[in-house]
Structure 1
């Protein structure tokens, strides 16, 4: 029916991440049929808790067909007739992403993606679900996922559950000294291979993430002062809207991308031309999950890589705003740059070097 690991994961997601209570409504959404075992475990545990599951199962090829053919009228109807009224009844949301092909939407046009984002994703998810439910989103392991991670399938499954079932209470405690430092910081500098970029975070809000919104989790994020970002930065491999990038490099002046290079420049320019906010940055974060070491073309994992940072193109988060508005939010990850806070080096490569922050290094955190 389902594995013991899926049982443990369902319990953590519902009890810890969603903090679900008896009598509450929770939407359990499965995108991709591969994760049916976890969905069963989620349904069973929801009912054991006395809560009400609302089930939504989507085939990834059907989703791609709808996005390809959808326009403003179609997605407005989908939102207003079905999904928005239902989401307004939900207290919690669990989204399981179980696609077997991360490139399924790689040939969807820019116009079709924009219509889907503007008239469905924005009202249903960004405005309603994100702001008014206790929500969590996670991936599900598969042979294809293991291939992207360059691991044997069984080894990847072991890695996946270890990363997802991390003791997030311990991680939250280890994050506190870094959050304290960042709340008193003005200028941050990242300096590494093909990267030297600085920006201000003075008086910005810092949000620790330890299993309440994403699984796996482990990040501490805010947003840069918009016009303060200057320098150049090189990012690890990434997939955005089904389009692969082996590398992305950006040159930034006064908060705006003025030059760029990538393994897929035509698609990169399309993304940067989405709107004015697509060339500016809406988030900055530290990746802090001690289990996740290398990129695997999946941002829910890659943005948590220990010793990494992501300086995100596009829309900010209302919880840690800087005023940037965009239809994109692309979490591009920079791995292993030295980090300076107001001129003091706190991380050398991927290791924190100050005594108060060494507890975040994998060799210390995983021993707890």
Structure 2
């Protein structure tokens, strides 16, 4: 039915991440049939807890057909007639992304993506699920996933479960000194190859992430003061809305992207033109998972790369807001820039160098 690691992962998701309780409703959504073993383990664990699982299984090619053909009226009806009323009854949500082709949505038009974002994702997920459930989302391993990570399949599976089943309570303790520093910080600068950007985070809220919303996890995030962001930044390879980018470079003035370059400028321009907030930043984060070393074209992993930061285009999170509103949220990742907090260098490349933060370096977290 499922393997031993899936059972461990299901237990961690429901008890630690979602903190599911007896009698609660939990939506278990599987996108892509590859993750059926984990879904079975989640259903079995939920019923053993006397919780109420609601199952949604979506084929990725059917999802592509709906994405390509859906318009405002279609997605509005889908949200109002089906998913939104059901989501309002949920106490928890687990989303398993198990597609075998990360480029399945590559041919979906800008207009179709916008209709889906405006009339389905925003009301069902951004407004209802994110704010009113205990939720967690994760990917599931496959040969295709291993190929994107440039690993043999078995080594990738070993890596996947190691990253996902990390001791998050230990990581939470190691994050605390960085959170304490950041809560007193007014100004942050990132400086590295192709990157020299600075911004204010004065009085912003910092949120530690250690397995409660994403699996794998390991980040500490806030949002910049929108108008304070100035400079230029270079990002690692990324895939967004099914479109691949080998690199992205942004020039920013007073919080707004004024120039850009990438391996796919036509697609990048379309994303930036989604709405006014798409050219501004809604999140800034430190990646802190000691297991994840290199980008693998999957943002749930890439945003957690140790020694990285993501300065995110688009919508902020209500839990750490800066007032930016957008129908995109693109966690572009910058790896290995030096980090300065109020002028003091605290990370050199990917290594924290101050005594209070050295506990976040991989050699100290994986002893």
Q: TM-score range by the shorter chain?
A: over 0.9
Residue of structure 1 equivalent to 2:307? 307
Q: Deviations over 1:298-344 (max 9, x none)?
A: 00000000000000000100000001111110000000000000000
**1:139-154 maps to which residues of 2 (within 5 A)?**
139-154=139-154
**1:155 positional shift:** 0.1
CA distance in 2 between partners of 1:77 and 1:196 (Å): 45
**1:271 positional shift:** 0.5
**1:356 positional shift:** 0.2
**1:229 positional shift:** 0.4
Q: Deviations over 1:231-286 (max 9, x none)?
A: 00000000000000000000001101111000000000001111111110000000
Matched, 1:23 2:23: yes
Residue of structure 2 equivalent to 1:94? 94
**1:294 positional shift:** 0.2
Count of aligned positions: 367
Residue of structure 1 equivalent to 2:336? 336
Residue of structure 2 equivalent to 1:261? 261
Matched, 1:3 2:7: no
Q: Deviations over 1:87-138 (max 9, x none)?
A: 1110000000000000000010000000001001111111111111000000
SS in 1 for 2:196: strand
Residue of structure 1 equivalent to 2:14? 14
Residue of structure 1 equivalent to 2:276? 276
CA distance in 1 between partners of 2:86 and 2:278 (Å): 31
SS in 1 for 2:129: helix
**1:180 positional shift:** 0.3
**1:21 positional shift:** 0.3
SS in 2 for 1:176: helix
Residue of structure 1 equivalent to 2:32? 32
Residue of structure 1 equivalent to 2:237? 237
**1:56 positional shift:** 0.2
CA distance in 2 between partners of 1:125 and 1:258 (Å): 30
**1:288 positional shift:** 0.1
CA distance in 2 between partners of 1:234 and 1:86 (Å): 41
CA distance in 2 between partners of 1:326 and 1:124 (Å): 15
CA distance in 2 between partners of 1:107 and 1:35 (Å): 24
Residue of structure 2 equivalent to 1:64? 64
CA distance in 1 between partners of 2:97 and 2:315 (Å): 22
Residue of structure 2 equivalent to 1:320? 320
SS in 2 for 1:20: coil
Displaced runs of 4+ in structure 1, greater than 4 A? none
**1:15 positional shift:** 0.3
**1:361 positional shift:** 0.2
SS in 2 for 1:321: coil
SS in 1 for 2:166: coil
Matched, 1:137 2:137: yes
SS in 2 for 1:93: strand
Residue of structure 2 equivalent to 1:248? 248
CA distance in 2 between partners of 1:314 and 1:81 (Å): 28
Q: How large is the Cα RMSD of the aligned pairs?
A: 0.4
With structure 2 as the length reference, what TM-score do the two structures score? 1.00
CA distance in 2 between partners of 1:161 and 1:348 (Å): 29
- 5+ unaligned residues in a row in structure 2: which ranges? none
SS in 2 for 1:345: strand
SS in 1 for 2:118: helix
SS in 1 for 2:244: strand
Matched, 1:117 2:117: yes
